[in-house]
Structure 1
Amino acid sequence: MKKNLILILFIIIVLGAALYIGKDEVYKYLYPKKYSDYVEFYSNEYNLDENLVYSIIKAESKFEKDAISRRGAKGLMQIGDGTRDWAIEELQIEDADIFEPRDNIRIGCWYLNKLYKEFGDLDLVIAAYNGGSGNVKKWLADQEYSQDGENLHTIPFKETSAYVEKVKHNYEMYKKIYN
């Protein structure tokens, strides 16, 4: 009951704000472009649509630079220690403070670019970002999850399936609001 009341109050506030300041401004509040200098720079460097990067940051950390997941992923793009260490080696950088937005976004964009090179498909890239590229490869090789070996018709991890849908929704909203 309390959750329903909070949800109703939130909807009333959002609708009131939309009427007062305009729906475009409410959408921009709900889908912000924080850390835009870094997102734009590294999206360009790694040949990514910046709207996708914003979508992943929103899904991963809600733009909280000090976020830590229950699995230990850190920062805006929720980078794991293994991915950080791999990036430091591959990018030949001294060190990376994963909670520093510049470093986190750089590594996240580098990793997304790696996944695009490996899979070439948005859904697979998003699934691999969340569920791991090894799992995506296994799923593609399994008729239960992939009928053609190139696309997933089912993602067996509920968390990853929901994550793909969330990021794709965010991505569509970012494109609609800002393009």
Structure 2
Amino acid sequence: MIKRWVLFLLIILAILLTFEMNTHYFLKKFYPLKYEEYVNSYSKEFGLDPYLVFAIIKVESNFNPYAISNRNAIGLMQIMPDTGRWIAAKLGMKDFKEEILFNPEVNIKMGVWYLHYLLKNFDGNLKLALAAYNGGCGNVDLWLKDKRFSQDGRQLHSIPFPETDRYVKKVLAVYQMYKFIYTKK
């Protein structure tokens, strides 16, 4: 009788371990670490969590370096040409041409720098930085001054652009998923 219980428990344990390993295997297919060298390098350089960068790339372009949005945002991190020109000047990059935004390394470097800039601009508030990444800094500044959207001028309690609201929620959810899949317990 005891042998059967031990055997039963071992089988259950083996099934659970197999399920755990397979679950992470399949999740990694849906949440890959493409361009890991660039993401890790620039995340380290600019002090960001690489899983946040992977989440933004996943949501923005699903890792398609040739993605172009209906608003003409380009590449992996979906950088607008005007924003790219501004970032290039800040980074000391000469002779900016928007085609360079299709280059994965350049796009990731610029996108990570910009996210770092937004986080610094919004005192480390990730929700505000993500809202600005999607909806623009000027809009976030206006929303923070409007009592309908911010009760204290430091947090957004409501994001008036539905697309930006969905974007922030999606990036945060995907970010949690990356951390769940890849962070060692």
Amino acid at match of 1:162: R
| Alpha-carbon shift at residue 77 of structure 1 (Å) | 0.1
* Sequence identity (%): 50
Runs (4+) of structure 1 moved beyond 3 Å? none
Give the gaps of 5 or more residues in structure 2.
1-17
Structure of larger gyration radius: 2
The residue that corresponds to 2:114 in the other structure is 111
Q: Work out the number of aligned pairs and report it.
A: 161
RMSD: 1.3
1:92 to 2:92 alignment = yes
TM-score of the superposition, structure 2-length normalised?
A: 0.84
The residue that corresponds to 1:29 in the other structure is 29
Which whole-Å CA distance do the structure 2 matches of 1:24 and 1:114 have between them? 33
The residue that corresponds to 2:152 in the other structure is 148
The residue that corresponds to 1:57 in the other structure is 57
Give the gaps of 5 or more residues in structure 1.
1-17
Amino acid at match of 1:84: G
The residue that corresponds to 2:166 in the other structure is 162
Which whole-Å CA distance do the structure 1 matches of 2:93 and 2:163 have between them? 32
Amino acid at match of 2:52: L
The residue that corresponds to 1:7 in the other structure is none
| Alpha-carbon shift at residue 93 of structure 1 (Å) | 1.3
Give deviations 1:52-83, integer Å, cap 9, x for gaps.
Answer: 00000000000000000000000000000111
